[in-house]
Chain A
Amino acid sequence: MIVVTLTARMQRHLYIKTGIISIAGIFLLFLPQIIPGSNYFLQILTTCFLYATLALSWNLLAYSGKISLGHAAFFGVGAYGSSLVALNFDINPLLSIWCGGCFAAILACTGGFLFSRLKGAYFALTTLALVEIPKMIIENWETLTRGSLGLLNIPPLRIASTIAQSYLPTYFINLGVLMLVFLFLTLIFSSRWGWAINALRQDEKVSFSLGINATFYHVTTMTVSGFIAGVCGAIYAHSVGIIEPSMVFSIHYSALPMVMSLFGGRSTIVGPIVGAFILFSIDQLAFQAILPIGHQILYGLAIMVTILYMPDGIMGLANREHLWHYSRQKK
């Protein structure tokens, strides 16, 4: 895969992005040493990393022009896949989370093939229905998955020399996975593949005329997106310890990455991360205290404000080139 960042504009974007995120990553890596002991903020950050990764996976698919309403399918399959592998074969959760990702990728690849011709709302509705298939199978395959009783005693993620009950291993693993996914996507977005899916989003017909194989790129994008979402689900399962179908296949995990990506700015790579950090922090630190039951109203508000006042999200506002572009159009 050849990395193509030819114009000055793209090079600048790439340097700024990787620079900022690397610095932030290193800072976050040492943050637990600065804030000692069990800290509420670190726990929130841990979940932020997970949601940011999930939002990035949703955003990858959106970058290729397909809106998914069913990322919970991949999340849930990843969670169940990894838990079952870890429980039945006694494998270290650090390895089994990747197995979970692979199961989700298989589902995503199949879905990608079947839905590759669907566009827009039709694709979105189909993905919404896709969630039900693995959910039904898992609910009814009681000998393997214990059905709606769920799985218990899922082994927690552990790195050598850390205490089992601490959330710190999860903190580092989530951060690591987020950084890994971010760097991988940055690389992809500036490669031939990224160019192709970017063109597909903007104009499918033109993409054909340039020689872009739409089916191939849609299927691979969906597979990678599903894999990442699956890994997120797996990490979630191991950090919670108990899962049941209605929990991991809930619409929550389809809607959340979408809201976060839209709020932060889709079709940018930093956007979903920013969205996840801002929204989840506000949710946990402010709304949870004010409205203990209905605190998720925040996500509904966020999506309304985004669509009405900043269709390109926060990163769209921050991007000066875009502002300049719009002001010129208005004249």
Chain B
Amino acid sequence: MALLKAEKITCILEERAVLNSVSFTLDEGEILGIIGPNGAGKTMLLNVISGFVRVSEGSIHFNRMEITHKPPYRLSRLGIKRTFQIPRPLKEQTVIENVLLAYVMAGRKLGKLNAVVEKVNSILEQVMLIDKRDILAADLTLSEQRRLELARTLAGNPRLLLLDEVGAGLSPAMITYIQDLLEKLNKSGVTIILVDHFLNLSVQLAHRVIALDNGKIIAEGLPQKVLDSPRVREAYLG
């Protein structure tokens, strides 16, 4: 069953079509990679799906419900969780408070407080931030901030994860670790869209890849096939 269905979404900003008639569907439990050169519209596509940017034309359905003009907080409550390309932790809060906030705001019943802390601790363990638990988020390194972003989305009980460059700036070992983590998540039923400029995650993880250039889909299919297609090579290498 299609979890997400985008039909001819066009997004015009300052008289330029940053997304031009983009259509695709995403099945439940799938991992979709979105690749493309700088300015291709990858992040814009995530912004549109998560409601941060309004589409000019077209429609988006999530779980058979129309979500085209819904505000971002509604979509977040439906289970569409995103990370940001440049990490945006709440800097005056500690790491655990950041994750707790996401947990509390996901709108579920909290129940016993100790159980909540345990749950959040286990999320922090998953992203290897448990040692930094009580450090202010402002003092984290870039790699740690990226993992904090990931932890925040995990705490929000996601159905559809939108990950923007989650692997950029991480060490190879950490990328392998994140890859395993995402695979595990996917097996537990979370659908994932990966935006990936450097192709380091999507090639191995994605079941399917969409290549964007100038706001248009130029190739779609299995990762290796898309990478080998001449149009994608041309777009990347110029």
A: residues with CB less than 8 A from B are: 2, 4, 6-10, 192, 195-196, 198-199, 202-203, 205-214, 267, 325, 328-329
The answer to whether B136 and A199 touch across the interface, beta carbons within 8 angstroms, is no
The answer to whether A208 and B152 touch across the interface, beta carbons within 8 angstroms, is no
The answer to whether A211 and B77 touch across the interface, beta carbons within 8 angstroms, is yes
The answer to whether B73 and A325 touch across the interface, beta carbons within 8 angstroms, is no
Give residues of chain B (85-117) contacting chain A, Cβ–Cβ below 8 Å: 88-94, 96-97, 100-102, 104-107, 110, 113, 116-117
Of B94, B110, B156, the contact of A210 (CB 8 Å cutoff): B156
B: residues with CB less than 8 A from A are: 50-52, 71-73, 76-77, 81-82, 84, 88-94, 96-97, 100-102, 104-107, 110, 113, 116-117, 134, 136, 138-139, 152, 156
Interface of A (DSSP majority class)? helix
Interface of B (DSSP majority class)? mixed
The answer to whether A211 and B88 touch across the interface, beta carbons within 8 angstroms, is no
Contacts of B156 in A (CB 8 A): 210-211
Of A2, A195, A208, A267, the contact of B101 (CB 8 Å cutoff): A195
Contacts of A205 in B (CB 8 A): 52, 84, 88
The answer to whether B105 and A212 touch across the interface, beta carbons within 8 angstroms, is yes
CA distance A233 to B88 in the complex (A): 40
Instruction: State how many angstroms separate the Cβ of B147 from the closest Cβ of chain A.
Output: 16
CB<8 Å pairs between A and B, sample of 30: A2-B110, A6-B100, A6-B113, A6-B116, A6-B117, A7-B97, A7-B100, A7-B134, A10-B97, A199-B101, A202-B92, A205-B84, A206-B84, A207-B73, A208-B76, A209-B82, A210-B73, A210-B101, A210-B102, A210-B105, A211-B73, A211-B76, A211-B77, A212-B73, A212-B105, A214-B73, A267-B92, A325-B136, A325-B138, A325-B139
The answer to whether B104 and A208 touch across the interface, beta carbons within 8 angstroms, is no
Contacts of A4 in B (CB 8 A): 100, 104, 110, 113
The answer to whether A208 and B91 touch across the interface, beta carbons within 8 angstroms, is no
Instruction: State how many angstroms separate the Cβ of A135 from the closest Cβ of chain B.
Output: 35
Contacts of B117 in A (CB 8 A): 6
CA distance A101 to B74 in the complex (A): 32
Contacts of A325 in B (CB 8 A): 136, 138-139
